[in-house]
Amino acid sequence: MSETIDAFLKENRTFPPPTEFAKQAWVNNDDPYKRAEDNYEKFWEGFASELHWFKKWSKALEWKPPHAKWFVGGKLNISYNCLDRHLSAHKNKAALIWEGEPGETRTLTYYDLYREVNKFANVLKKFGVKRGDRVSIYLPMIPELPIAMLACTRIGATHSVVFSAFSAQALRDRNQDSQAKVLITADGYYRSGNVEKLKERADLALKESPSVKQVVIVKRMGNAVTMESGRDHWWHELMQEADDYCKPEEMDSEDPLYILYTSGSTGKPKGVLHTTGGYLTGVYATNKWVFDIKDNDTYWCTADIGWVTGHSYIVYGPLANGATSLMYEGSPDYPQKDRFWAIIEKHNVNIFYTAPTAIRTFMKWGAQWPEKRDMSSLRLLGSVGEPINPEAWIWYHETIGKGRCPVVDTWWQTETGSILITPLPGHTILKPGSATKPFPGIAAMVVDEHGKEVPPGTGGYLVITKPWPSMLRTIYGDPDRYVKQYWNKFGGKFYFTGDGAKRDKDGYFWLLGRIDDVINVSGHRISTMEVESALVEHDAVAEAAVVGKNHEIKGQAIVAFVTLGDGYKPSDQLKEGLREKVKEVIGPIAKPDAIIFSDDLPKTRSGKIMRRILQDLAEGRPVGDTTTLRDPGVVERIKQQL
């Protein structure tokens, strides 16, 4: 097997920052890159100094590979930095604008949020929650979710947010792993106009969560719930009695902040542990520079707070910046397919951050939906979660941004805590499909199997070669797994991201997807992402997922699962057209052996395509676990096409 990945896609379009945008941007020259290059510890100290510390750190970094400590000896409190710090200048500025699925709005000013957080911190204290204790939060996208998170940080408890669409079993496993003392949940929530009975799922999980002694329930829907006396309490009743000031705990910079479970491709979920000072510095800095956040902006990240994107870029990053962060409870197609655009119009959103899978869905729904709405308030667009294919990038730039807004394609992971590879919108010349360059202070490289840097244009493993403030510190309860998973591959020298990438001659990074998703066809290591990107360049294709299937001669053969855009019908002729398209864009080597049309693809609830399932289908194996799928029915529907 060759040691690198063959990278084929060529994308030559470039987009310099619009002059007006560059003029007003936080960064519009390469000074920060130079400063960071000179001394990256000092560079990060600059951002840390913009935050509030009860006691200043004595040393920026203590690096005993693979263990980093940042801002050693410093004392701070996250809720203080996200709330108290802004009360003088921004007391009555909107901190959170929340829109419920049925259309109601709740705006919490910094002062409102401050009061709610203080009160709920006192509720937690009353239940005996202390510094270092774990609290599970199983809430939908309602303001009580960030309130509960910030209340934990106020008293130094470690929160573990469990995505509200996860199953009872997932919640149980996480409660058990973290040994949470308290669970915060809700009676139910809206999803596409239906009531999801959350408390029922929580009750199932609680049967096998012996560490959880107290449960707090937010009344969101008013659906009937069972309350276990002595254990279950209503949020609103507790809040009525709670004092409205709680002194913030002075936390050590390296004290735990939160655990967030992320499913690895194999094995049980990993509890990624983030700590206090470094994490806040990382999300504060990147939210400010990557999204160019200014005092008057309304900023909207569409992720669910159950994912790291929501932790870092709905809650901690924006609030640390004193910004206005919008959160939306429901589905993008409720009551109609223009809901996101209606929200942008209604709230005058300036900065919009979403995922490629959402963008491709919007493309499929058609430009008539955004075109009905006035979105002239937008000035910057962002993308995260997977490689954005140039086709989708251009559509986003043209149809949503009207060619006016830079698009920041931000690469990062749950483990990295904050964005690591990204354009800075007032400075970077954009190339559609490239996450461009490491954020100042971040050192990334593309290497071969032996850890040797590969030449420009060649694909390899993406590694991070220096520690950064918001890096995960360990896997909760499994320190060996931390070392094995992220550091052993390259002898403890580099952080191994698990992603493939190539750099071009200008030093730009092009992400090639997870290394596990690379297919080996006759000795050529082909990134599934590149074949998918070629397929969606065809007018008829809305979305594509590509997997490898065992092949006697070639090693692996390429199988493509394709969803067509509205108005296109499957046919053999179209299959041939798609094969030709791949040949034209990549070369004959990458022509799919089989093409399967399907109305949808198996996706996780965060929108990632589960290629493992498609591979099972392609190879005719029984399909493994489908419980994490957004729509498990899709598997049966694809089977009928085989």
Q: How many CB atoms lie within 10 A of CB 101?
A: 20
Of the pair 118, 354, the CB lying nearest ligand WT7 is at 354
Q: Is 414 in the site for ligand WT7 (CB under 6 A)?
A: yes
Q: Which one-letter amino acid corresponds to residue 230?
A: G
Of the pair 129, 421, the CB lying nearest ligand WT7 is at 421
Residue 588 DSSP code: G
Of the pair 147, 462, the CB lying nearest ligand WT7 is at 462
Of the pair 322, 459, the CB lying nearest ligand WT7 is at 459
Angle at which helices 144-155 and 110-126 cross, to 10°: 60
Binder of ligand WT7 out of 53, 57, 362, 412 (CB under 6 A) = 412
Of residues 288 through 317, those in contact with ligand WT7 by CB under 6 A are 308-309
DSSP string, 385-439: SSPPPHHHHHHIIIIITTTTS-EEE-B--TTT-S--B---TTTPPB-TT--BSBP
Of the pair 77, 275, the CB lying nearest ligand WT7 is at 275
| Positive or negative: CA dihedral 281, 286, 292, 297 | negative
Of the pair 329, 499, the CB lying nearest ligand WT7 is at 499
Q: Rounded to the nearest 5 degrees, what angle is found at the Cα of 446, between the Cα atoms of 280 and 590? A: 120
In terms of DSSP bridges, do strands 518-521 and 524-527 run parallel, antiparallel, or are they unpaired?
antiparallel
Beta bridge partners of 511: 501
Of residues 37 through 66, those in contact with ligand WT7 by CB under 6 A are none
Count of positions on this chain that bind ligand WT7 (CB under 6 A): 19
- Whole-angstrom distance, CA of residue 99 vs CA of residue 9: 40
* Shortest separation between residue 512's beta carbon and ligand WT7, angstroms: 8
Binder of ligand WT7 out of 514, 554, 579, 591 (CB under 6 A) = 514
- Whole-angstrom distance, CA of residue 119 vs CA of residue 139: 18
- Whole-angstrom distance, CA of residue 26 vs CA of residue 293: 8
Cβ contact 421:442 at 8 Å: yes
Q: Which stretch binds ligand WT7 (CB under 6 A): 80-88, 292-300, 342-350, 379-387?
A: 379-387
DSSP string, 216-257: EEE-SS-------TTTEEEHHHHHHHS-S--PPP-EETTSEE
Of the pair 412, 439, the CB lying nearest ligand WT7 is at 412
Q: Is 496 in the site for ligand WT7 (CB under 6 A)?
A: no
Q: Is 499 in the site for ligand WT7 (CB under 6 A)?
A: yes
Binder of ligand WT7 out of 171, 511, 541, 635 (CB under 6 A) = 511
Binder of ligand WT7 out of 109, 160, 413, 533 (CB under 6 A) = 413
* Shortest separation between residue 479's beta carbon and ligand WT7, angstroms: 20
- Whole-angstrom distance, CA of residue 458 vs CA of residue 448: 9
Binder of ligand WT7 out of 386, 391, 532, 616 (CB under 6 A) = 386
- Whole-angstrom distance, CA of residue 244 vs CA of residue 120: 9
Query: Which x/- pattern, by CB under 6 A, does the window 531-570 give for ligand WT7?
Result: ----------------------------------------
Q: Is 385 in the site for ligand WT7 (CB under 6 A)?
A: yes
Binder of ligand WT7 out of 96, 283, 358, 384 (CB under 6 A) = 384
Of residues 418 through 437, those in contact with ligand WT7 by CB under 6 A are 435
Cβ contact 534:577 at 8 Å: no
Closest CA to 293 of 356, 348, 351, 341: 351
* Shortest separation between residue 56's beta carbon and ligand WT7, angstroms: 31
Of the pair 414, 598, the CB lying nearest ligand WT7 is at 414
Of the pair 251, 407, the CB lying nearest ligand WT7 is at 407
Binder of ligand WT7 out of 100, 387, 425, 438 (CB under 6 A) = 387
In terms of DSSP bridges, do strands 459-464 and 67-72 run parallel, antiparallel, or are they unpaired?
unpaired
- Whole-angstrom distance, CA of residue 441 vs CA of residue 41: 8
Of the pair 176, 263, the CB lying nearest ligand WT7 is at 263
Q: Which stretch binds ligand WT7 (CB under 6 A): 42-50, 380-388, 483-491, 533-541?
A: 380-388
Q: Is 411 in the site for ligand WT7 (CB under 6 A)?
A: yes
The binding site for ligand WT7 (CB under 6 A) comprises 262, 308-309, 384-387, 409-414, 435, 497-499, 511, 514
